[in-house]
Amino acid sequence: MDAKDALRSTSNLSSMVLKSYISDLDDADLMRRPGEGCNHLAWQLGHLIASEVQLLEMVARGQATTLPDGFAEAHSKDACGNDDPGAFLEKSEYEELFDKVRGASLAALEAMSDADLDQPGPEAFSSVCPTVGDLFSLIASHPMMHAGQFVVVRRQLGKPILM
């Protein structure tokens, strides 16, 4: 297994976990917050999608998916208190967009050489992602950083334990 294989594997695992956790949720469930001061799941899905596009653009300019107009703003930190379901997408739309964005990230990864992955990462992320490969690791694993919040909502709803 080489670096790209490991990054691809991490990406696929985190995608599978996220998709499993939302598999039996509906649009109303996505508007639930796991706790006081936490963002609801629809906002979190949008954050994961918008963040991935932004991160990919930093290291593979022009290869990221174009988001719908207003999408990034609707899922920005300034909008995290919005509880209006009409301001967010349906679950199926999040799923479709997530797959499209993740596909673009994996395609960009495939186009990278080992030397490309060893290049310095974006300066804004240099303390956490010193190399391009480290930034791809962040992209791949970011959904796992939110997985616990999805589990809390699942427990609140009495959904089965999946993993």
Question: What average pLDDT does the structure give for the chain?
Answer: 97
Please tell me the predicted confidence (pLDDT) of residue 70: 96
Whether residue 85 is predicted with pLDDT greater than 90 in this model: the reply is yes
Please tell me the predicted confidence (pLDDT) of residue 157: 98
Neighbours of 98 (CB within 10 A): 21
> What single DSSP character describes residue 157?
T
Calpha distance 126→102 (Å, rounded): 23
Whether residue 101 is predicted with pLDDT greater than 90 in this model: the reply is yes
Calpha distance 18→21 (Å, rounded): 5
Q: What does pTM read for this prediction?
A: 0.97
Amino acid making up residue 110 = E
User: Which whole number is the average pLDDT over 54-62?
Assistant: 97
Split at pLDDT 50, 70, 90, the class of 120 is very high
Give the chain's domains with CATH numbers. 3-156 (1.20.120.450)
User: pLDDT by residue (tens digit) across 133-153?
Assistant: 999 999 999 999 999 999 999
Whether residue 161 is predicted with pLDDT greater than 90 in this model: the reply is yes
User: pLDDT by residue (tens digit) across 16-50?
Assistant: 999 999 999 999 999 999 999 999 999 999 999 99
Please tell me the predicted confidence (pLDDT) of residue 135: 98
